[in-house]
Chains A and B, each alone.
Chain A
Amino acid sequence: MYLKKQFSDFGAKVLNELENSEHISLSLVAEQTTYTRYSQSKIRQTTFVDQAQINISLIINGRNLDAKINFDGENQALNIKNFLDILKEAKEKSKQLPVSNTVVLPLKPAESIQEKHSGQSLSKDIHNDILALVKNEDFVGMLVSGSFTNGFMNSAGASHWFESNSFYLDYSIYSKEQKAVKSCYAGNKWNQDEYKENISKSLSSLNKLSLPTQKIKPGKYKTYLAPAAVQELIQMMSWGALSARSYKLGFCGLKKVYDGEVKLSEKFSLKEDFKTGFSPRFNSFGEVAPQQVPLIEKGILKSFLVSTLTAKEHTNLKTNFANSSEHLRSPVVSKGTIEDKDILKQIGTGLYVSNFHYLNWSDMSYGRITGMTRFACFWVEDAKIKGPINNLRFDETLFNIFGKNLIGLTKKTEIIPKIMSYERRHIGAIVVPGILVDNFSYNL
């Protein structure tokens, strides 16, 4: 396994440098990724990145002191030197800084996670394979492929490893009218037939975009949100609505639900589900989350994401081994009963929204979010697609969307991979259905 031995040797040397009262957790994050950027069905830029970093969490004299250094698999002496510089600095900081709000000493969990998900390298003809099917289209997107590694060890003896090799092609295809469809093809092994089917589906949606554009005024409309749009809303929940710490500090978008002032629909359930295998089950403290962590069950907010740090500070909360950031890692929204073939019939007259763009809280205390529709969004009349729309701004609350206005969810769910790549490639995926919502509010 890539860097496993080097990481293990590094950890052993590092532990020898600590005093008895000092504690440490080490998390290795490494990637070897090729990013190819397409625009106008040609190649705009190609970048290969080979990087590995170690996140270091030290506990010295009641202070949490974190650091991040590069990790060189070929130069252990340099790694140790960098660590010793960090350790020296941390000891100085422990004299300059006040004690931490909370400290949680490293533990050794009962389980040691050792996961490896293999994949096949892409063929040398991959660009031909991709672009041949879209050479007459305006195709723009990014192909990402390579290996990702996450290792963990701590001074209590915990040890975990997660390795995967995968790809995704995240793309959109634009019409002459500047309208577009968006899709993603992802996996461990490229299959040209699967890719062909993916493109074929996109081109079919693109044809519908050439229908006359419908001018829709701001107002409230029955709206179907496709899985890609739903995942944007769930990711917003990750930004302060499901964090126990955020609740305690007054920043929580679902506070009113937790406090019992507002009810969500019993059709809506959300959990962390690590059985999907998209993300490692161990967190940044080396703790191992249960296979499933129910968060919202039939509309009841059962639990926030609670890290052990937060649980220690607020003793009325029980940890469910969330990450220190208390973000969602492997979310799954339960499916419903609406068949795909019935979606237009269920809308009747209203909007079909494929994607959202640029969501943000407009009033977090009331769970209110604003954002834009984007890509293949249509006006539907009497269960027939009439034409695409000019994008609308919405301003709506989570309490309405997943609460009293939730009509239903689709039977089929989609796996949507994480495609963020700030600082490094992020891995994981979300599993979501589409949802049908009544009186969805558009304000611009």
Chain B
Amino acid sequence: MIENLKESLKKINIQADWIGLRKVSENTKKVLIRNEKLDTHQSVKNCGIMVEVMVDGHFACSASQDLSQKGIEISAKKAVELAKKSLPHKLYNFTEKQRPQAVGRYPLSQKIDSQSYTEIYSRLIEATKKMKSSSHHIIAAFASTAITESTTEFVSTNGSELKQEKCLIGLDQMVSAEKNGILQHRSNGKKVVQGSFDIFNKNDIYKDSERLANEVLELLDAENCPTNTRDILIMPDQLYLQIHESIGHPLELDRILGDERNYAGWSFVKPDDIGKLKYGSSLLNISFDPHVEGEIASYHFDDTGAFAQKKHLIKDGILVAGIGGLESQARINKPGVAASRATSWNRAPIDRMANINMEAGESTMQQMIENTEKGLLVCTNKSWSIDDFRNKFQFGCEYAKIIKDGQITKTVRNPNYKGSSLNFWRSLKMVGASNTSEAWGSFYCGKGEPNQTIAVGHKTPPALFSDVEVFGGA
């Protein structure tokens, strides 16, 4: 309870300019069903406290599972010891401005009970049965879910008192098939939501099972994707990852500052680009939006206590803000957003994407197809790779259709495409209307030293890009 945390904070006996306690409790349940049988079931319970101190402008952290007052005191002393040892070499002189007083709640919208689990399991089993039984070419059918309920409590010596509760839910369905030595897979793209169990709607799951089974069989007989340059109509279940890799990561302020250069990399974006750089065509509008109901990375406060508000990052194609919390904003003296987050109690907060969304345009799917003479419609990410400056990328998808003279035609398999980030976004020529938007995301965006993963969300319509290099499998 947060009152207990406040009491613990009062009792800490150390010399520091500021102290924060962040307690995180998580309960996760994962189940994987393969061909109607149980592959794995895992239940994870994790709880701990991060004690963060500021001493002479330098932050240091000590994390432990020991929630007793004695344990917290030990962590606090350790954090001060680390801070003092670092002082002669500190990178920046921070102040309490980077840890504002924050008071608020982000309550859980829906809880799951054990009865619900029984029904969920039976739907997953039935989903794999439907997929597996549709053809003898199908070698395996998978359905899985992961549900994490978490509570984060944060108190500080300058009066912060936050409690944020979330329930993150993932649903995967996948089918593998083989015919004449050709192997193909088809999946639902790994759906993720926050706080809603509508994702387990029986009809949706079974409809998807049928669709995925049909499409994987199509892929077995399909030709390889051609190798040439053509327009590409990217569906939301692939475009979200394009946004993630070639907009989200390059705009992280700590990357721009160079903190990630030894691991995740740098960015082609320079500090002076913010406010000026033509990132994409005038149709490109990207926002940081922490208040989208049901989107996986919605929250009220980041892990430094900054209040999260919607903000444009790219407006009409121009870069206007970076993705970075108060520490990075102070260092770089550029606008950012409340995006300093930690994966759990055992990692310090760093600049992370949250919900990074592409604003809808005005085109219908039909209009985008009709406007394409020689194109490719691609669905569902399979593979991703980009360079350490976030420039040269290559993506692979599961399924594609050739567009010819304004019509969808045949299916092709192993569709891949490559390009460079700025050229690509400047080739954006049509954007789907709001009724075509879908919210996707991932539980496992990784960066940082030490490494950490975090949930990120990307809501996007489909969009059409001109003259992209595409190619097929071997």
Contacts and interface: CB of A to CB of B under 8 A. Distances in A.
A124 B446 CA distance: 31
A131 interface: yes
Given A144-B450, A374-B388, A391-B388, A64 B259 contact: no
A39 B35 CA distance: 49
Interface in B71-93: 71, 75, 78-79, 82-83, 85-86, 88-91
A144 B259 CA distance: 16
A43 B43 contact: no
Contacts of A49: 62-64, 346-347, 450
Interface in B344-385: 346-348, 350, 383-385
A44 to B, nearest CB: 5
A149 to B, nearest CB: 14
Interface stretch (A171-179, A191-199, A405-413): A171-179
B185 A43 contact: no
Contact of A97 (B61, B83, B86, B121): B121
Interface stretch (B95-103, B192-200, B261-269, B281-289): B261-269
A73 to B, nearest CB: 9
A127 B34 contact: no
Contacts of B39: 100-101
Contact of A172 (B64, B262, B394, B453): B262
Nearest to B384: A360
Contact of A142 (B31, B40, B48, B262): B262
A171 B449 CA distance: 11
B149 interface: no
Given A70-B65, A100-B38, A171-B262, A366 B85 contact: no
A386 interface: no
B407 to A, nearest CB: 28
Interface stretch (A88-96, A112-120, A290-298, A431-439): A88-96
Nearest to A392: B392
B139 interface: yes
B259 A44 contact: yes
Contacts of B160: none
Contact of A48 (B63, B71, B451): B63
Interface in B152-208: 176-178, 182-183, 185
B383 A361 contact: yes
A86 interface: yes
A1 interface: no
Contacts of B452: 422
B298 interface: no
Contact of A140 (B139, B176, B259): B259
Interface stretch (A30-38, A271-279, A340-348): A30-38
Nearest to B115: A96
Contacts of B36: 98
Contacts of A371: 385
B111 interface: no
B110 interface: no
Contacts of B449: 35, 37, 141-142, 170, 421
A414 interface: no
B31 A97 contact: yes
B386 interface: yes
B473 A363 contact: yes
A250 B40 contact: no
A397 B41 contact: no
State the main secondary structure of chain A at its contact with B: strand
A39 B43 contact: no
A444 interface: yes
Interface string A222-255: 0000000000000000000000000001110001
Nearest to A178: B266
Interface in B228-266: 257-259, 261-263, 265-266
Interface string B289-332: 00000000000000000000000000000000000000000000
B37 interface: yes
A65 interface: yes
A96 B450 contact: no
Nearest to A34: B82
B422 interface: no
A140 B61 contact: no
B178 A89 contact: no
Contact of A98 (B38, B59, B68, B474): B38
Nearest to B125: A98
B394 A67 contact: no
Given A98-B33, A395-B394, A182 B262 contact: yes
B333 interface: no
Nearest to A86: B43
Closest 4 CB pairs of A and B: A366-B474, A421-B450, A363-B473, A42-B91
23 contacts: A47-B61, A48-B61, A64-B40, A67-B45, A69-B44, A74-B66, A75-B68, A82-B45, A85-B45, A93-B117, A96-B114, A100-B37, A140-B259, A142-B262, A170-B449, A172-B261, A249-B176, A251-B176, A358-B385, A358-B386, A370-B383, A421-B449, A443-B418
Given A142-B262, A393-B418, 7 more contacts: A43-B91, A45-B350, A70-B46, A182-B262, A360-B396, A363-B474, A374-B387
